[in-house]
Amino acid sequence: MVLIPEVSKLSRSAFRRLGMTPPKAPDAPPARLSLISRHLAPVYPINTPYAVERLPSTIDTSLLPKNQTRQLTTTTPKMSQPAHPTLLIPGPIEFDDAVLQSMSHFSESHVSAGFVATFGETLSMLRKLFQTTDPASQPFVLSGSGTLGWDLVAANLIEAGEDVLVLGTGYFSDGFADCLRVYGANVTELKAPVGTKPTLLEIEKALSEKKYKAITITHVDTSTGVLSELKNLSALVHKVSPDTLIIVDGVCSVACEEIDFDTWGLDGVVTASQKAIGCPAGLSISMFSGRAMKAFENRKTPASAYFASMKNWTPIMQNYEAKKPSYFATPSPQLVHALHTALSQILAKPVAERFAGHKAASDKIKAAIATLGLKQVAANPNEQAHGMTAIYLPEGVKGAELLPILAKKGVVFAGGIHKEIITKYIRFGHMGVSVLDPARGDIERAVKALEEGLAELGYTKP
């Protein structure tokens, strides 16, 4: 039997051979349509026949979208999320209907052509989000919590006994340091007082005292809302310690704070799905530079993890991005679909607009906090994150009393997590749809609830 492909399945060159005009390029129609058509394809792709090898493969960049001009539908499909309190913690955040709907995608093989295309596009879209066009940059999307990104760095880029400088900004930089130590790194923590970050002068001094394999920066420490500045910091590291890898924990910053991966010369940014990217938790997402990948390839000792091993995952990520089925461990098709939807929405507009939108909302929130007479944990306006605000409670107000009152008003804030001040503050997350879709009114409702809640507990604003 000869399989006769339907006209819709003919390749562009086949159209030309037949003297016909091929339809527009595959990525020209709206992404939604392309997704649907993929499901309706009359000939289903085979499921991993013999393409399960783990051999490294050079990525065929001709397959990558040269100029991603996705036209995305802005109308979300009908789906009603049941009434629920608005989640305004620093992640997970509120999710868009279309993203949540993608979580219910019917079951697909993780090596089917349809899913491979979805995963491949997702990886390519991450390059846009991180603003890297260097083909040597390598994105990873793994099943796991954001924390897994620390293991990825610690187990692959650092060898036992190598020195790492950790900029200490709070609970999460402490965690990164712990993780690095588990894998044998010799960690130096340059700690700043609660609510601040190490200065460039202090960092320059530290870098001049020892040769560090890597420096880690927690871009936004979710425990304090302190924002680290990456541009000048990266320039400094490149100047005074050019061999040091610049590794960023971007869990609470990717997709809400500017990150210009190539221009700033970053070597690694690790993040998670459930914060400003706006996809449910369950994915560790990261980007590494060609220089970081070289550091991994040039290790003298084998990487000291298996599931978190770049050796195991790099060929798989490269194959997926080249639209080739590949297998090391089963990814989560549903979460990857949701990430694809979230990234498609994000990239429908220039990322700079997204960062500006978060900054505008943050400025408004911080002004409202000040009007209420409240102080932030991050006192210096230049060190304040744009996707969250850590707010000191007024004297006499307990978080354990305030948070349930806010929740009753339909707004969920987070308690403290930094051990030195844990009972003294609360955290307000403002990322994604809650700030970019003003029609939701999430922020106004939250500020109003905070004002009313404090009043109910006897607080009078100055």
By CB under 8 A, the residues from 162 to 181 that bind a copy of itself are 178-179
User: How far is it, in rounded angstroms, from Cα 206 to Cα 188?
Assistant: 9
- Name the residue nearer to a copy of itself (CB basis): 338 or 343: 338
Q: Give the contact letters, 107-126, x = binds to a copy of itself (CB under 8 A), - = no.
A: xxxx-x--------------
Least separation in angstroms between residue 156's CB and a copy of itself is 12
Using rule CB under 8 A, residue 15 touches a copy of itself: no
261 interacts with a copy of itself by CB under 8 A: no
Q: How far is the CB of 308 from a copy of itself (least distance, A)?
A: 7
Which residues lie below 8 Å from residue 357, measured CB to CB, with a gap of 6+? 435, 436
- Contact characters 329-348, a copy of itself, x per CB under 8 A: xxxxxxx-------------
Residue among 257, 215, 243 at smallest CA distance from 130: 257
Closer by beta carbon to a copy of itself, 257 or else 442? 442
Do you find a cis peptide bond into 92, omega within 30 degrees of 0? Answer: yes
Residue spans of beta strands (DSSP E) within 250-296:
268-272, 283-288
**Can you give the three-state secondary structure of 368-389, one letter per residue?**
HHHHCCCCECCCCHHHECCCEE
Site for a copy of itself in 290-319 (CB under 8 A): 302-309
Q: Is 91 in the site for a copy of itself (CB under 8 A)?
A: yes
Number of residues that bind a copy of itself (CB under 8 A): 91
N- to C-terminal Cα separation, the chain: 84
With CB under 8 A as the contact rule, the residue among 93, 165, 285, 388 that binds a copy of itself is: 93
CB of residue 455 vs a copy of itself: minimum separation in angstroms? 10
DSSP string, 113-130: HHHHHHHHHHHHHHHHHT
Taking the complex as a whole, how short is the minimal distance between the CB of residue 322 and a copy of itself, in angstroms? 19
Considering the complex, state which of residue 131 and residue 147 has its C-beta at the smaller distance from a copy of itself: 147
Residue 119 CB, nearest distance to a copy of itself (Å)?
Answer: 12
According to DSSP H, which parts of 8-108 are helical? 12-17, 31-40, 97-102
Stretch that binds a copy of itself, among 19-27, 126-134, 201-209, 322-330 (CB under 8 A): 322-330
Using CB under 8 A as the binding rule, whether residue 270 contacts a copy of itself is answered as no
76 binds a copy of itself, rule: CB under 8 A: no
In the complex with a copy of itself, which residue's Cβ is closer, 87 or 236?
87
The number of beta carbons lying within 10 Å of the beta carbon of residue 84 is: 9
Indicate the helix (H) or strand (E) that contains 139.
strand 138-143
The rounded distance, in Å, linking the Cα atoms of 185 and 174 is 14
User: Where in 406-425 is the site for a copy of itself (CB under 8 A)?
Assistant: 407-408, 410, 412-417, 422-423
The verdict on 225 binding a copy of itself (CB under 8 A) reads no
Three-state SS annotation for 418-435: CCCCCCCEEEEECCCHHH
Residue numbers 30-59 binding a copy of itself by CB under 8 A: 39, 42-50, 52
In the bound complex, what is the minimum distance in angstroms from residue 143's beta carbon to a copy of itself?
A: 5
Single out the residue of 194, 166, 191 nearest to residue 390, CA to CA.
194
| Site track 370-399 with a copy of itself (rule: CB under 8 A), x = hit | -----------------------------x
CB 318 within 8 A of CB 57: yes
Decide: 200 and 236 in contact? Cβ < 8 Å: yes
The stretch among 66-74, 149-157, 204-212, 370-378 that binds a copy of itself (CB under 8 A) is 149-157
Q: Name the residue nearer to a copy of itself (CB basis): 201 or 400.
A: 400
Alpha carbon distances (Å) from 199 to 128, 167, 205, 230: 30, 10, 10, 12
